Structure 1
Amino acid sequence: MSYLLIKGGNVITGGKITKKDVLIKDEKIVDTDFSGEIPCGCKIIDANKKYVSAGFIDIHLHGGGGYDFMDCTKEAFCAISKTHLENGTTLLVPTAVSSTFENILNLIKTYKECIDECPNFYGIHLEGPYISKNQKGAHKEYLLHSPTNEEIDILLSEGNGVIKRITAAPELDNMEYFANKMKENGINLAIGHSDATSDVALKAFKDGFSHVTHLYSATPSVRKINQVVKAGVVEAAYLDDDVTVELIADGKHAAVDALRLAVKIKGTDKVALVTDALRPAGTDARESYLGEKIPENRVIIEDGVAKLPDRSTFAGSIATSSMLLERGVNHYGLSLTDTVKMITETPAKILGVENKGKIQNSFIADITIFDENYKIEKVILNGKIIK
């Protein structure tokens, strides 16, 4: 039995900031307003008026620290885990970019081998290959296709308990069957990299889709199709009150007014902020790769964002969750409490994780402490001081 007391911090939870002490016993929070006798042998962190929040949760990121999950090595997985943990992310969902089916299965295999050494991982997110060629973004077109029944069966078998999220385009062939199977198996299915009109997207939400991946990025809005004005994925997400959305809040991918509009319409309960980070996150690299380290996957880092070499599209961000925190307040003009909620409590709900995302009694003690400049001072994971 071990105790840890966080003293004198400005605790952010439930939309409020309150100065109080938090007591942790083993891996759980046991008292969010402690004022009693300090237990014998208790370790003490003097937060000294710094902010104390639940650990950050990132439901969409591809890499960091110079590595990508598609490297499919234990070295890569552990380095990415460490990079984001040091930046306050205590729970993350390793995300695959569109690749061959063999590589996707290799990713699943590597995840299973590494999970004990990467305690801040929570399943896998497959972003592709079941996405639209018209909205491919930086994904390679030749890898994109509709799901086959054989692939669905293999994914559900090999990825049982491991695959937590899938981003797909509902307008593809066989997608209704795909959605039903994923829903049956408790997998969070998101519309993303999709050319769907609003009617297709709204039907998909009834068939099992419940989320939209990086809203405004490869998720079209109102446009003309054959001289007829059609609404798109964005409007469908706004119309369905149950649907959650994520936005890349790096200050590059989402325009200020667009992000603020999403928060105004959906509310902080339905909006998660994500990094969509690539391997250069947490480094000073000027060139890198999206996915496997092969020439065709090369990207450049320019103006604080990853781009394809021809500059035709963004390829992902170089952000960490600590950057989302700062950008949320300083760039997007959100309140600190709303920003924290959208990188803690809301993503936990989207993932269905019921004991993380808030500083609350009986919750797992995943905690991030940061100063007034949003610099990460301390990180606690499962009740243990990591940084």
Structure 2
Amino acid sequence: MSPTLISAARVITPEAVLEPGWVEVRSGRISAAGSGTPPREPDASYPDGTLAPGFIDAHIHGGGGFSFNDADPAAAAVRIAAVHREHGTTTLMASLVTASLEHLEAAVAALADLVEEGVLAGIHLEGPWLSPYHRGAHTKSLLRTPDPASIDRLMLAGRGTIKMVTIAPELEGGLAAIRQITGYGAVAAVGHTGADYDLARQAIAAGATAGTHVFNAMRSLHHREPGPALALLEDPAVFAEVIADGVHLHPSLVRFIAGSPARAVFVTDAMAAACAHEGTYDLGGLEVRVADGEARLVSNGAIAGSILTLDAAVRHAVRHAGIPLADAVRAATQNPADMLGLTDVGRIRQGLRADLVVLGGDLEVAAVMKAGEWFQPAS
């Protein structure tokens, strides 16, 4: 197969922004990259565009009208991946909301096949081990304490494909559960929690390396009781999820997290209504109304995920939070790759898989490539 040469006004690499730059793709992998004039006439040229790694969504529940908690999660996953790929996401996790152990076990087993096939990067359990007082859009009656047997049951059902588990460390057995989860090689993320600052620090010491949508569904920051957010953000070993949609966080907090010692990870937390019509949806057995760009529980008005896509998150971060484009892109690419231990994606580097996204001058998606194959972007 002959190589594909792509040139752009900017190419965002781990080390620098090449202005202008070029990338060569051969057999689905990045074979070379450089700055200045490309070595030959490019096959695709974007004189006003930015070439970046394909986006990686580490926390996503659905899109296009489908959810990973659907009765047929494997079929839903293929549709979800396709609609988010149009917006530049070439790697995604399957996040599952709280459900019965039986439902979660079946969903994990079905989705594990798609992880092994390369359709998904892994599975994220957002529940059932969450605080009932900070549950957000999770069914209270299905929440439970993290007993070793239930953790083993779900982790073994995943056959090594569960890459991340959100947990409230204040629950009985919470710190031991973090050690058990990380013992399986998964990321333990502090979230949906009422933990205070000291307990959050203990959770990090026990092995937690991430914060699930920091500031959302967790104990608030207070000048005498700083809570878990500060503990997570002041630690350079922690990855902090950010939902940059203008609904979950004020732009100043997006900027604050991006400038903190922790490494910002842009996520969508998207539910089925992302890339679909507004209206009423089901999220883990709870009724959600989507209107005016927001998803909220019908019962109490609580935020219930988002309808965000990662390209929109990058645009929001740049336009409204004042984050430099290269930093915003890295929060949607190499930082989530590092959080999840994905070594083949997230960077424009020789030898890595050729997952790329081209952003136009308006930061809208102009083109998407996955494993060296071009896909039609969203219209």
- SS, match of residue 315 in structure 1: coil
Match of 1:80 in 2: 80
Give the Cα separation in 1 of the matches to 2:354 and 2:368: 10
Match of 1:280 in 2: 273
Give the Cα separation in 2 of the matches to 1:190 and 1:91: 19
Match of 1:98 in 2: 98
Question: Which 4+ residue blocks in structure 1 deviate beyond 6 angstroms?
Answer: none
Give the Cα separation in 2 of the matches to 1:116 and 1:167: 22
Give the Cα separation in 1 of the matches to 2:278 and 2:220: 34
Matched, 1:45 2:44: yes
Deviation for aligned residue 1:335: 1.4
Matched, 1:220 2:219: yes
Which is further off, 103-112 or 134-143? 103-112
Match of 2:297 in 1: 308
Deviation for aligned residue 1:15: 4.5
Q: Given the superposition, is the C-alpha separation of residues 15 and 217 from structure 1 closer, same or farther in structure 2, using an over 3 Å criterion?
A: farther
Q: Given the superposition, is the C-alpha separation of residues 75 and 238 from structure 1 closer, same or farther in structure 2, using an over 3 Å criterion?
A: closer
Trace 1:8-87 onto structure 2 (pairs within 5 A). 8-13=8-13, 14-33=15-34, 35-36=38-39, 44-73=43-72, 74-87=74-87
Deviation for aligned residue 1:298: 1.3
- SS, match of residue 322 in structure 1: helix
Match of 2:227 in 1: 232
> What is the letter of the counterpart of residue 235 of structure 2?
D
Give the Cα separation in 1 of the matches to 2:144 and 2:206: 20
Trace 1:86-235 onto structure 2 (pairs within 5 A). 86-115=86-115, 119-223=118-222, 229-235=224-230
The answer on whether the counterparts of 1:165 and 1:188 sit within 8 Å (CA) in structure 2 is yes
Match of 1:354 in 2: 343
- SS, match of residue 209 in structure 2: strand
The answer on whether the counterparts of 1:15 and 1:341 sit within 8 Å (CA) in structure 2 is no
> What is the letter of the counterpart of residue 262 of structure 1?
I
Q: Tell me the number of residue pairs that the alignment of Structure 1 and Structure 2 aligns.
A: 372
Give the Cα separation in 1 of the matches to 2:184 and 2:305: 29
Match of 1:369 in 2: 358
After superposition, the C-alpha distances for 1:141-187 in whole angstroms (9 at most, x for unaligned) are 10111122221221232112210000000011122222112112210
The answer on whether the counterparts of 1:88 and 1:322 sit within 8 Å (CA) in structure 2 is yes
The answer on whether the counterparts of 2:10 and 2:17 sit within 8 Å (CA) in structure 1 is no
Deviation for aligned residue 1:120: 4.6
Match of 2:242 in 1: 247
Match of 2:308 in 1: 319
Give the Cα separation in 1 of the matches to 2:140 and 2:133: 9
Deviation for aligned residue 1:17: 4.5
The answer on whether the counterparts of 2:344 and 2:353 sit within 8 Å (CA) in structure 1 is yes
- Percent identity reads 31
- SS, match of residue 93 in structure 2: strand
Q: Given the superposition, is the C-alpha separation of residues 198 and 24 from structure 1 closer, same or farther in structure 2, using an over 3 Å criterion?
A: same
> What is the letter of the counterpart of residue 12 of structure 1?
I
Give the Cα separation in 1 of the matches to 2:8 and 2:16: 19
The answer on whether the counterparts of 2:67 and 2:76 sit within 8 Å (CA) in structure 1 is yes
Give the Cα separation in 2 of the matches to 1:114 and 1:222: 39
The answer on whether the counterparts of 1:274 and 1:343 sit within 8 Å (CA) in structure 2 is yes
Deviation for aligned residue 1:223: 4.7
> What is the letter of the counterpart of residue 284 of structure 1?
H
Q: TM-score, normalised by structure 1?
A: 0.91
Deviation for aligned residue 1:208: 1.4
- SS, match of residue 48 in structure 1: strand
Matched, 1:297 2:272: no
> What is the letter of the counterpart of residue 360 of structure 1?
R
Matched, 1:271 2:274: no
The answer on whether the counterparts of 2:243 and 2:249 sit within 8 Å (CA) in structure 1 is yes
Give the Cα separation in 1 of the matches to 2:188 and 2:326: 28
Give the Cα separation in 1 of the matches to 2:119 and 2:320: 28
Deviation for aligned residue 1:19: 1.1
Of 373, 376, 379, the match for 1:384: 373
Which is further off, 133-142 or 13-22? 13-22
Deviation for aligned residue 1:261: 1.4
Q: CA RMSD in A?
A: 1.9
Deviation for aligned residue 1:54: 0.3
The answer on whether the counterparts of 2:48 and 2:361 sit within 8 Å (CA) in structure 1 is no
> What is the letter of the counterpart of residue 281 of structure 1?
A
Trace 1:333-348 onto structure 2 (pairs within 5 A). 333-348=322-337
> What is the letter of the counterpart of residue 293 of structure 2?
G
Give the Cα separation in 2 of the matches to 1:177 and 1:336: 40
Give the Cα separation in 2 of the matches to 1:116 and 1:183: 20
The answer on whether the counterparts of 1:221 and 1:235 sit within 8 Å (CA) in structure 2 is no
Give the Cα separation in 2 of the matches to 1:351 and 1:115: 14
The answer on whether the counterparts of 2:63 and 2:274 sit within 8 Å (CA) in structure 1 is yes
Give the Cα separation in 1 of the matches to 2:177 and 2:368: 39
Deviation for aligned residue 1:37: 5.2
Q: Given the superposition, is the C-alpha separation of residues 238 and 114 from structure 1 closer, same or farther in structure 2, using an over 3 Å criterion?
A: closer
Q: Given the superposition, is the C-alpha separation of residues 264 and 36 from structure 1 closer, same or farther in structure 2, using an over 3 Å criterion?
A: closer
